[in-house]
Each structure stands twice: as C-alpha cells, then as structure tokens.
Amino acid sequence: TNKERMLLVFTEWVKLLQRVPSDDVKVAVFISQMIEKGVLSETNNVIEFTKAALELSVGSFKESDPTSEVFTATDAFSKLIVNLLVLQDFSEVDRSSYFKLIFSVITFVFSEDQGKTENTFNERPYFRLFSSLLCDWEDISSHNFVKVEDQRCRAQLVEFNKEFYRVIASFLHAYQPIAFPGFSFAWITLISHRMFLPKMLKLPEKAGWSQLVLLFTDLLKFMAQYTKKQDVPDAVSVVYKGALRVFLAVANDAPEFLVENHYELLNNLPHVYMQLRNVVLSAFPKHVSIPNPYNPKLSIDTVKICDQPPNVFYDPVHDLKTLKKPVDNYLRIPSASLSRTISSNVFRSEYEKDNGIGFDTVSVDVKLINAIVLHVGIEAALEKQRTTANAVFNVKSSYYTLLADLLNDGTTEVRFHVVQAIANQLRYPNAHTQWFNYVLKNFFNSEEWGENKTEIQEIIVRTLLERIVTNKPHCWGIIVTFTDLLKSTECSLMDLPFVKDVPEVELIIKHL
Amino acid sequence: TMPAEMASQLESSLLNCPDSLDADTPHLYHNVLSLPHPTSIFFPNEP
Amino acid sequence: YGLSALLPLIRREDQSPDYDSSMTLGIDLSPVLHSLGIPNNQPSRNRVLDTFQSPWVETSRSEVEPKFFVPESFKNIPNVLQSGERPPAFNSVQQDHAKISLFQDETLFYLFYKHPGSVVQELTYLELRKRNWRYHKTLKVWLTKDPMMEPVVAPGGASERGSYVFFDPQRWEKCQRDFVLFYNAIM
C-alpha cells in the first residue's frame, strides 16, 4: 500500500541518520530523491507521510525498551521536517503553509491518540518531537542560517525564521492544558523550552510577545479555573510551582517582558496567587537603579527616574469598550454626566465566581476597571510630559477626579477593585508609580468621601498590606506608598478604628 | 471543580512529565572516537 | 474587602483550612532562585532560560545542551595529530599511544571520562599514569602528589598522609587537598 511504501522510505531515513552525520551530503541526496520520486509530490502525500511517520515514531517509542534509545524515530522525523523546510523549493507553495500543514497533521494524530488512549496517553514522544524540532531548527538557523550556502535560499529562511516560531506558538496555544489536560506538563515544559522561550522573548520588534502573553494567559487561566481556595489538587499545585519557576526565570532574563505586559498578565492571574502577582509586578528593566525603598528619608518626588513612563506593550484603551469615548471625553472636559456614565457601566451582567481573598464572586468587570485605571495613568503621564507636573499632580485634574468619582459613586466592591488596579501600578520607580502614589495618598487623606472615608481608607490599607505580608519580592512602589502612609502626619494608621479592631493587623503595622 | 476525567488525565500527565533528558538535543549519529575495549571495572562506566 | 479578610492568612491557627499559604503568602524564594542559578536574590548575569532544563527541579536531573555554534574553521581540520584526511581515531593501544602523549592533562581527563569502555579510555589511563597521576578506585578521580610536600607513611605501610592535587571532574579543575591515601585504593 501507499502507506507501507512511505513507511519504508521513512525507515530508510531513520537508518541513514544513524550512519552519517546530519550535514553529510547523503542526507541532502536522500531528500532530493524523495522529492524527485514524488514521495511528497501532493498535499495528500504530505499528509499521509506525516501521519505514517508520526504513528511509527510514537509506536516505536511505546514498544522500545525504556532503558534504550526510545526516541530514534521521533528524532529522525524532526530532522526530516527541518530538512524539508530548508531544502525544498518553495516557489509554488509558501513555507509557512507547508509547515502549518505538517503541524496540522501532527495535531490530528496527537488528538486521535489522546482520544483513544485517554488516561494511558503518553505525552513524551510528542514532547520529544516538538523539542527536537526546536533544537534542530536552532542548529540550522544559528548565525542567520550561515550553514545554508545558497544565498537566495538563505535570505528566504532568514525571512521565514520568525514565522517558524510563530507557527509553533500558535499550535501550542491549541494544545493548552484546558484542551488537552493529558499533555499539560509537557506543554508547560515546551512553552519554557530553552530553544523556544528565549527565542520568542528576543524576536526582533517583540514579534513573539503577543503570542507569549497568550500562552502565559492559557497557563494562568488553567490555574485560575482549578485553584480552589482550600483543597488545591496536588497536580495543580505542581503546575503552580512550575509556573512560578518559569516566571522567576523570565523575571531574571527578560524583566522588560513582565514590565510591559503586566496589565494583560494580571488580568488573568488569580487573586489568591499573591506572591506570583508580586513577582510579575516587582520586575524592573535591567539597567534601572532602584533607590532603597526602606530609606526613611526617601521622597518619591525626588527620584529622577520617575520622569520616565514605563512602556506598555498592549494598550489598555482596546479594552475600554463602550467607555472609551466617555473616558477620553471626561479627561478632556470633565462632566458629572460622563462620570455617571463611567461609574454605572463598570458592572458585569452576571455574577462570576472568583477566587479572591475575602470574596468568592465578582459582579464588576474587573478587566474594564483595570483598563480604565491604567489608561488614565498612561494619559496622566503623557500630560505631565506635554505640559507640567502640576497639571496632573492636582486633585482637581480630570485624571484624578475620574478615579475619585469611581470611588465616590461606587459600591464597596467597585472601590476595592479600583484600589487594587491602582496598586497594580505601584511598581518600580517610574512616572506611573509616582502618579498613582500621589493619587492613593490623597485618596487616603481626602475629606471628600464623607461617611465612606473609613471604608475607603480600610480598603487602601488592606490592599497595600496584603502585598507586604507576603514573602518577597515586594514592589518598590507599594513599600514607598505604605511608608508614606505610616509617616503621614495627617492621619496616624494606628489610630484608625479598623486597625485597632484587628489586633493582629495592629501588631503588624506597629512592627512596620 | 475539575471533572474527574480531566483530573485523571492531568495526573497521568504529571506521571509522564518529560524531564531534562527528554529535552536534550537529539544526536542520532554517534561518531566513534575509538573502539570498545574492556577497561577496569573501577573506571567510570557512564560518560 | 477589608482587613479582616487577611486574617486567615496571617493568623497562625487559622492558616490551614482557608487558603493554600504556599500560594498566597508564598514561600521563601531563595532556594527556588538558587535552583535556577540565580544567586543571592539578585538578577543574574547569566540568562537562565538558555540552559533551562525543566520547570521543575525534580525533572532537572541533568544538564541540557544549550545552543552553540561551531565555526567552519573548527571543523574538518586536516592532519590533526598526523592522522591525514580522516579525523584522528584511537583504535589501537599500541599504535595510538604516541598521539595520546601530545594532549594536555585536561584533554586526557576529558577523554577518560567521556568514553567509558573504549580504547581511548585505556590509552588515557596509561598516559596519565606516565605523568604520575594515579586513579582512585572508589572516589573515581585522579590525583597526584603535591610536589611541595613529602607525605608521611603510616606505620604498617598501608597508607600515607600527605598533600595531593586532585582533578575534580565536576568542577573541572585541579584542587589541592590534604588526604590519607590508601595504596590499595589507587591504580
């Protein structure tokens, strides 16, 4: 049968690779003959061959003695794919479509295998295939494909390179844990693979960032969905540990990724993961020197780097939905009616369950609130650069009053999420941290809340405190803001009724 | 709550979790530097 | 939404039922960072993702090969060790002895540890012995006498105490140690 003939060709390929080095001319000759003889002449043949080769590789893994080389066929298949991408003439079909076709077939076989074997599904040969693909591609692509002699081909491959990773990223999104829980641990290992993650982080013009955010979001959503407050399933707890370690590695190597994507990442980070939230928010760009936040003489307004607004990769304005116009109009010319429109449209249409500290459901659109707060902060920092600091460090500025109105008109729940969103911007010294520090301090001391003052103060103290009582890291902006409140002559934290009511908290604050 | 089937697949994935050996660079062709030779049992027997 | 919501986190007695504290309050990250190769809670100069073995310590049992590039000028160098066009091979203890003596100590150690059960392991053993290194059977490391110190032989003559230079294959360096050497332990 056709399938048998293809398996024969693939087996010959496997044997060849064991006998000669992969850059031997015989390897190229083999590929050339495969093409000449029409083994892969049509789409159907490509599909059938891919299916056969993968099924044989997976089968051979399952049947091999576990102490021997179990991935021989899988590794050979990986090398075949890379050779096909490099050596073929792509004048009629483009490389990207060809690659996607192969990957689609792999996905089909994978998904069938998963469906058939369910709990006995073994992710390892599929993991190995993707891992080896990444390694083999790295080998051929290093130094701008210098190993490829044909200059025209080389130029095409250089052009194609980022597409290679983007295709893999898009398929990884399809393989996410919620879709294929039996592949979860392999998946997390793949998104953090040494030949994938650093590459995606460093693609020119941040070309890999959107997809990385999507993949991290897939991970966070999975964890969010299945992290119960009590009784976290062991496997989910292991997932969390792995995720934490990956985020720490990213914070070390590419903190700017976390800095610029904090908004999107936090939108999907379960509230209960307080330490992980701090890991994301305490990232700061390399080469930025951070003054000691515990220095009692520190004044945020004298920190020079607070002139710089942080980069924000994804503009939250895209998430403002119907409130974009009202918000932007309000910032230009504040009005009570615009403010009312904004305040009344931050609610969800139905309750959603949430894992919060102290709450189980959410009736406000938290993502929308986060978007509003960050957008206002971005605009305030821009305004400061365009005009003067006084334009925004001013309790009468529209930037300030928009947020103040949200608190004034909002329910307790709204107030909480607005303050949380503000706290999310108290990060390393930058223009946003400085402005939101100003906002929060003024909110704390303001007399405009009337009988709601105590509640708002308590929410502010709770929000800051919860980010300090965790194990490190702690955000610079949170420490500085909390210190400012502690030093405040206008209001002593220790005298506040809600602090006195909770002796444990009183003790902590006294200690701080 | 995680459906039982999903939980069991997740567990199975945990059990089969790929390790650093699975993620290592593939080398199908091994260039033999020298022939096999019976060496002392005290020598290390793994590279 | 107030402070009392934090009580289950901070109150010791209440800690177990309500929240998984390893995720809320979190843990001391120093050992985790250490396992990643990030020392002292400071950002490391090394890019740890480039050699990342696995998200979990438990599955990071071995190093993984990072990306690297071998320039063409490093490959296919003709007539290395007078071997003509083909790359040098060590297939005969008698014939290839001479080539082995051209290598530095570190190269010999590399070949010894890298190619178990082979002619080259045997050849490097013989050559290192010629250079007054001795192989310790249980420690599985090579050592030689520190020339600055004479060892003291124990009464009975089964061992001596002295200063030796060891080659540590894990750290890939020579290091000096005081040591009690049993003669039947070396070869």
Enter the CATH code of domain C99-185: 2.30.30.1020
- How far apart (Å, rounded) are the C-alpha atoms in residues A194 and C17? 38
Give yes or no for A510 touching C (CB within 8 A).
no
Which range scores top for mean pLDDT: A37-41, A183-187, A270-274, A359-363?
Answer: A183-187
> Closest to B29 (Cβ–Cβ): which among A22, A228, A235?
A22
Q: How far is C139 from chain B (nearest CA, A)?
A: 10
Of all residues in chain C, the one with the smallest CA distance to A199 is: C50
Give yes or no for A386 touching B (CB within 8 A).
no
Interface of A with C in 239-268 (CB under 8 A): 240-246, 248-255
What pLDDT score does C12 carry?
Answer: 61
With 90 as the cut, is the pLDDT of residue C95 above it? Answer: no
With 80 as the cut, is the pLDDT of residue A103 above it? Answer: yes
With 90 as the cut, is the pLDDT of residue A49 above it? Answer: yes
Q: pLDDT tens, A442-463? A: 999 999 999 999 999 999 999 9
Cβ count near A294 (within 10 Å): 10
Q: Beta partners for C164?
A: C145, C177
Higher pLDDT, C7 or A15: A15
C-alpha distances in angstroms, A125 versus B22, B27, B38, C30?
9, 16, 35, 34
C-alpha distances in angstroms, A176 versus A6, A190, A314?
31, 11, 22
Instruction: Give me the percent of chain C exceeding a pLDDT of 90.
Output: 68
Q: Which of B24, A194, A127, B17 is nearest to C64 (CA)?
A: B24
Residues of C in contact with B20 (CB under 8 A): 53-54, 59-64
> Closest to C49 (Cβ–Cβ): which among A189, A244, A253?
A253
Residues of B in contact with A236 (CB under 8 A): 2, 10
Q: pLDDT tens, C117-139? A: 999 999 999 999 999 999 999 99
Q: How far is B20 from chain A (nearest CA, A)?
A: 10
Q: How far is B11 from chain C (nearest CA, A)?
A: 15
Give yes or no for A132 touching B (CB within 8 A).
yes
Q: Which chains share 3+ C-beta pairs under 8 angstroms with C?
A: A, B
Report helix, strand and coil shares of chain A as percent, to nearest 5: 70, 0, 30
Q: pLDDT tens, B1-47? A: 889 999 999 999 999 999 999 999 999 998 888 999 999 999 998 88
Q: Which of C126, C130, C142, C183 is nearest to C160 (CA)?
A: C183
Q: What are phi and psi of A464, to 5 degrees?
A: -70, -45
Lowest mean pLDDT among A69-83, A194-208, A226-240: A226-240
Lowest mean pLDDT among A153-162, A211-220, C35-44: C35-44
C-beta of residue A185 within 8 angstroms of C-beta of residue B14: yes
Cβ-based contacts under 8 A for chains A and C: 165
- For A22, the 3-state DSSP assignment is coil
Report helix, strand and coil shares of chain C as percent, to nearest 5: 40, 15, 45
What pLDDT score does C10 carry?
Answer: 81
With 60 as the cut, is the pLDDT of residue C14 above it? Answer: no
- How far apart (Å, rounded) are the C-alpha atoms in residues C28 and A472? 7
C-beta of residue A477 within 8 angstroms of C-beta of residue A427: yes
Kindly state the DSSP code that residue C186 receives in the 8-state scheme: B
Burial class of C183 by CB neighbour count within 10 A (0 to 12, 13 to 18, 19+) = exposed
Of all residues in chain A, the one with the smallest CA distance to C42 is: A252
Interface of B with C in 11-40 (CB under 8 A): 17-21, 23-25, 31-40
Q: What is the CA radius of gyration of chain B?
A: 20
Handedness of CA A172, A175, A176, A182 (dihedral sign): negative
pLDDT band at A352; cut points 50, 70, 90: confident
- How far apart (Å, rounded) are the C-alpha atoms in residues A410 and A343? 7
With 90 as the cut, is the pLDDT of residue A298 above it? Answer: yes
Lowest mean pLDDT among A158-167, A297-306, A377-386, C14-23: C14-23
Q: How far is C56 from chain B (nearest CA, A)?
A: 9
Q: Which of A90, A94, A56, A92 is nearest to A76 (CA)?
A: A56
Give yes or no for A302 touching C (CB within 8 A).
no
For residue A73, give the amino acid letter: A
* Inter-chain touch C65–B35, beta carbons under 8 Å: no
Of all residues in chain B, the one with the smallest CA distance to A22 is: B29
What ranges in C45-116 are assigned the alpha helix state H? 93-100, 105-114
C-beta of residue A512 within 8 angstroms of C-beta of residue A482: yes
With 70 as the cut, is the pLDDT of residue C15 above it? Answer: no
* Inter-chain touch B18–C59, beta carbons under 8 Å: yes
One DSSP character per residue, A114-129 reads HHHHGGG---HHHHHH
Q: Would you state the structure tokens that stand for residue C82, as one six-digit string?
A: 């007078």
For the segment A223-244, the average pLDDT, to the nearest whole number, is: 87
Report helix, strand and coil shares of chain B as percent, to nearest 5: 25, 0, 70
* Inter-chain touch C10–A192, beta carbons under 8 Å: no
A162-167 long-range contacts, Cβ below 8 Å, gap at least 24? A162/A203, A162/A204, A162/A207, A162/A208, A163/A95, A163/A96, A163/A99, A164/A85, A164/A99, A164/A137, A165/A196, A165/A199, A165/A200, A165/A203, A165/A208, A166/A207, A166/A208, A166/A211, A167/A96, A167/A99, A167/A100, A167/A103
The residues near C183 (Cβ < 8 Å, ≥ 6 apart) are: C158, C159, C160
* Inter-chain touch B10–A132, beta carbons under 8 Å: no
Higher pLDDT, A312 or A270: A312
Q: Beta partners for C173?
A: C168
With 80 as the cut, is the pLDDT of residue C16 above it? Answer: no
Instruction: Quote the Cα angle for C81-C87-C92, to 5°.
Output: 70
What ranges in A304-411 are assigned the alpha helix state H? 324-332, 336-344, 366-386, 398-409
How large is the ipTM?
0.94
Cβ-based contacts under 8 A for chains B and C: 89
- How far apart (Å, rounded) are the C-alpha atoms in residues B9 and A116? 13
Higher pLDDT, C40 or A411: A411
> Closest to A189 (Cβ–Cβ): which among B1, B6, B18?
B18
Q: pLDDT tens, A252-270? A: 999 999 999 999 999 999 8
> Closest to C65 (Cβ–Cβ): which among B25, B31, B39?
B25
- How far apart (Å, rounded) are the C-alpha atoms in residues A107 and A113? 10
- How far apart (Å, rounded) are the C-alpha atoms in residues A395 and A507? 33
What pLDDT score does A414 carry?
Answer: 98
**Ordered domains of chain A (ranges, CATH):** 2-175 (1.25.40.790), 300-511 (1.25.40.800)
Parse chain C into domains and list their residue ranges: 3-59, 99-185
* Inter-chain touch A459–C44, beta carbons under 8 Å: no
Residues of A in contact with B14 (CB under 8 A): 184-185, 235, 238
Of all residues in chain B, the one with the smallest CA distance to A124 is: B18
For the segment C153-176, the average pLDDT, to the nearest whole number, is: 95
Q: Which chains share 3+ C-beta pairs under 8 angstroms with B?
A: A, C
Question: Mean pLDDT across chain A, nearest whole number?
Answer: 95
The residues near A481 (Cβ < 8 Å, ≥ 6 apart) are: A426, A437, A440, A441, A464
One DSSP character per residue, A110-172 reads HHHHHHHHGGG---HHHHHHHHHHHHHHHHHHHHHHTT---HHHHHHHHHHHHHHHHHHHHHH
Residues of B in contact with C115 (CB under 8 A): 33-34, 47
> Closest to A71 (Cβ–Cβ): which among B8, B10, B26?
B26
Burial class of C160 by CB neighbour count within 10 A (0 to 12, 13 to 18, 19+) = middle
pLDDT band at C17; cut points 50, 70, 90: low
